[in-house]
A and B are shown apart, each in its own frame.
Chain A
Amino acid sequence: MQQLLNGVFLGSIYALFAIGFTLVFGILDRLNLAHPAVFAAAAFIGIELVTLGGVSIWLAIPLVAGIGALLGLVIERVAFRPLRGRPDAHFAGLISSIGLAGMIIALLLWRYGPDTRRFPADAFPATTFEVAGARVTLLQVAILAISILLMVGLTWLVARTRLGRAMRAVAENPRAATVLGIDVDRVTATTFALSSALGAVAGALFAMNVNSAQLGMGAAIELKGLAVIIVGGMGSLPGALVGGLLLGLAEVFAVQYIGSSWRDLVAFGMLFLLLVVRPQGLFGSRRVREV
């Protein structure tokens, strides 16, 4: 039971990260490889806010989300918008976002040094609960609640709101969206801001969950995020949710029952098997994406 819960907590963070990732991918058909750098940056910035700023972790989360959104706007402006007219805009954006990710990590190294950073010991609430014989901290409950809330909120936004409709219109046909009076640049920038805000919150929650932030944490989650996107079905929000949870559970159980060095092998092996069984992903349509 304890492992199950731990897996769910970890998985919900993966899901949150992957949902931000897949939002830009599914809507704009752009792979933003600066997303993992936002994840890492948010962890360090969150720790600094709490440590130096004296901010409570509860306030740090919305602050980090705001900073993430700003980073998203910068990423769109710097790494994607200048290239959008090119025939190879997808690939070019991918490469330029890798470059930007490298710059963000370099800035983190410059500001925070190469060492692991932690929250101060008294930053976390001491409250714990018993759930079916397992011990759960208030922080873990909060991580799960925040992740679920954000994912539900995002799904609602995309499915039901005016902005969500515009995002889907831009996803399907930017030219048609323009003709309808939609400011495609603005919707694109907003999508990046939302995506990065989610990635940033995921980074802060991840750092809280394991009480540490490392420069390599972005790179570590990057592949997982990509795997979750693919397994969930390219661009599918519920797919990213389920994929993230599965990955979190698989990792925790692999560590518990097989050994920690088997973690990635088991987790990725399972995702791989899923793809063999369902090549289009859990929630993907059979239709091939149009290029």
Chain B
Amino acid sequence: MSEDILTVEDLAVSYGRVQAVRGVSFTVPRGALVTLVGANGAGKTSIINAVSGVVRPSSGRVTFQGKDVTRTPAHKLVRQGLVQVPEGRQILASLTIEENLQLGGWHTSGGRTEEVYDRFPVLRERRRLLAGSLSGGEQQMLAIGRALVAEPSLMLLDEPSMGLAPKVVDEVFRVIQEIRAAGTSVLLVEQNARRALRAADHGYVLASGEVARSGPGAELLADDAIVAAYLGLETG
């Protein structure tokens, strides 16, 4: 098996005439935390969705655990261990918290539910309540927990800190580090570039659907030109 759990080559995504992603390449080494950062509309979500099989790329190749999965539908990729925590959390508000977690384990026995409750005790307390009753931060924990139940070997997170209070953002990043420390590879997409680059082994800066820069997270952050050009408006 190759050293990289995910390899994306020359990926392009378009919606009708809109070209959202134009020839993006990157890799996620096994066990690493890699981040894609970029402003609104840079193409981050399109990349995540193309990698996880939710949208069809117009060209390019996605290799996951040594297998070409470019045309594999999303539900099959989940079974293979590639699991997405979608933008905006997408929890199922009309189902209970427990049901949300059970659905995360749709293809497994759901045996990891207890582990997730241990990690997020607040979810255990409210397991019988509708997921829609959770606060934004708690919903993000549920979305991450739900992905964990699926036993991913690669977790894709699309702007997990979006709309959360700074303290909760800290919590989210702590959880991501824990997940990574437990051996799961992570691809993190963020607008909160400073936080993401600080946490990541390797970062890619996206602009208008293309990779503008890439390098170790700390190096990108240290480069004032990059910060000014691409990340200037970011806070954190």
Contacts and interface: CB of A to CB of B under 8 A. Distances in A.
A binds B: yes
Interface of A: 162, 165-166, 168-169, 172-173, 175-184
Nearest to A186: B75
A169 B104 CA distance: 11
B87 to A, nearest CB: 10
15 contacts: A165-B99, A165-B103, A168-B92, A176-B92, A177-B92, A178-B74, A179-B54, A179-B78, A180-B78, A180-B106, A180-B150, A181-B79, A181-B150, A183-B73, A183-B75
Contacts of B75: 178, 181-184
Contacts of A168: 92, 94-95, 99
Nearest to B156: A179
A178 B54 contact: yes
B92 A166 contact: no
Contacts of A178: 54, 73-75
Contacts of B92: 168-169, 172-173, 176-177
Given A162-B102, A181-B107, 16 more contacts: A162-B106, A166-B106, A168-B92, A172-B92, A172-B94, A173-B90, A175-B90, A176-B86, A176-B92, A177-B92, A178-B73, A179-B74, A179-B78, A181-B75, A181-B150, A182-B106
A174 to B, nearest CB: 11
A183 B103 CA distance: 12
Given A179-B52, A182-B75, A165 B90 contact: no
A120 B32 CA distance: 73
Contacts of B79: 181
A184 B73 CA distance: 11
A176 B90 contact: yes
A179 B103 contact: no
Nearest to B94: A172
Contacts of A183: 73, 75
B95 A179 contact: no
Nearest to A181: B78
B146 interface: yes
Nearest to A168: B95
Nearest to B96: A165
A172 B99 CA distance: 13
A183 B92 CA distance: 16
A135 to B, nearest CB: 45
Contacts of A182: 75, 103, 106
- In the A-B complex, the 5 residue pairs with the smallest Cβ-Cβ separation, listed nearest first, are A181-B78, A176-B90, A183-B75, A178-B74, A181-B106
Contacts of A176: 86, 90-92
Contacts of A166: 103, 106
B225 interface: no
For chain B, give the interface size range. 20 to 34
Interface string B70-99: 000111001100011010001111110001
Contacts of B84: 179
Given A173-B90, A175-B54, A180 B95 contact: no
Contacts of A184: 75
Contacts of B90: 173, 175-176, 179
Count chain B CB atoms within 10 A of each CB in A166, A168, A178, A179 and give the residue with the most: A179
A172 B54 contact: no
A87 to B, nearest CB: 12
B84 to A, nearest CB: 5
Contact of B86 (A162, A165, A169, A179): A179
A180 B93 contact: no
A178 B84 CA distance: 10
Count chain A CB atoms within 10 A of each CB in B54, B73, B103, B146 and give the residue with the most: B103
A180 B54 contact: no
Interface in B137-175: 146, 150
Count chain A CB atoms within 10 A of each CB in B86, B146, B150 and give the residue with the most: B86
Contacts of B73: 178, 183
Contacts of B93: 172
A166 B95 CA distance: 10
A114 B151 CA distance: 59
Contact of B104 (A162, A173, A175, A180): A180
A70 to B, nearest CB: 24
Given A181-B79, A181-B150, A169 B52 contact: no
Contacts of A173: 90, 92
